[in-house]
A and B are shown apart, each in its own frame.
Chain A
Amino acid sequence: MTLTPSHFSAVLLFASFASIVFGITQRATPKAMLRYGIYCFVLFIGSVIVASWVMYFIRH
């Protein structure tokens, strides 16, 4: 069985799992964990979108 997600799907999966672990390990209370997890997720996705547009404008 082989999985071939698109680049963006792979980013979504990566960001989800990494954010869960970051949230749990880097904060002490459940509320702070949730907030930090969401913050990391948004940063992961946001930085990928920004980097994508930068590469697009470099190419065009």
Chain B
Amino acid sequence: MAQRVETAKSTAGAKSSGLGYAALIAGWLVPGAGHLLLKRWGRGFLILFSITAMFVLGILMQGKLYAPNASELLDLLGFLGDLGAGLLYFIGHMMGLGQAPVQVVTADYGAKFIVVAGLLNLIAAVDAHNIAVGRKP
């Protein structure tokens, strides 16, 4: 009996762990997808709206999308922040967005919007993981 309970517990743990990583990766790739996967509809759509809007506004302000450049530490940090936006970053990069030379003062704000959108997305993805593994209600 006790062995059955232990087996059931470990199976449930493995399932929640698998779901936790799925929520983490989905949340990183698409903002809010981790919460949507866990049926937290309100939180998921709010995160999707906020982070996507922030990223798009950054692009519209002619913000820079950083590319991996190991020789410049600040560029590398910017790249890591941008990468947090998941598919938004890859799509933007493939479309050649955020590559134009800076011509307006708001381009600097735009670059910060994009980096912060990526960082906020990472926080949201970790939050989805915490919900999936039961660390947060």
A residues in contact (CB < 8 Å) with B:
1-5, 7, 10, 13-14, 16-18, 20-22, 24-25, 28-29
Contacts and interface: CB of A to CB of B under 8 A. Distances in A.
A20 B60 contact: no
A44 to B, nearest CB: 11
A13 B51 CA distance: 11
Interface string B93-120: 0000000000011100100110011001
19 contacts: A2-B62, A3-B60, A3-B61, A3-B106, A4-B104, A5-B61, A5-B109, A10-B106, A14-B54, A14-B109, A17-B120, A20-B47, A21-B50, A21-B123, A22-B120, A22-B123, A24-B47, A25-B123, A28-B136
Contacts of A2: 60-62, 104
Interface of B: 43, 46-47, 50-51, 53-54, 57, 60-62, 104-106, 109, 112-113, 116-117, 120, 123-124, 126-127, 136-137
Nearest to B110: A3
B50 to A, nearest CB: 4
A17 B50 contact: yes
Given A13-B113, A22-B123, A24-B43, 6 more contacts: A4-B104, A5-B109, A17-B51, A24-B47, A25-B124, A25-B127
Contacts of B120: 17-18, 21-22
A17 B53 CA distance: 8
Nearest to B46: A20
Given A21-B123, A21-B124, A24-B124, A5 B106 contact: yes
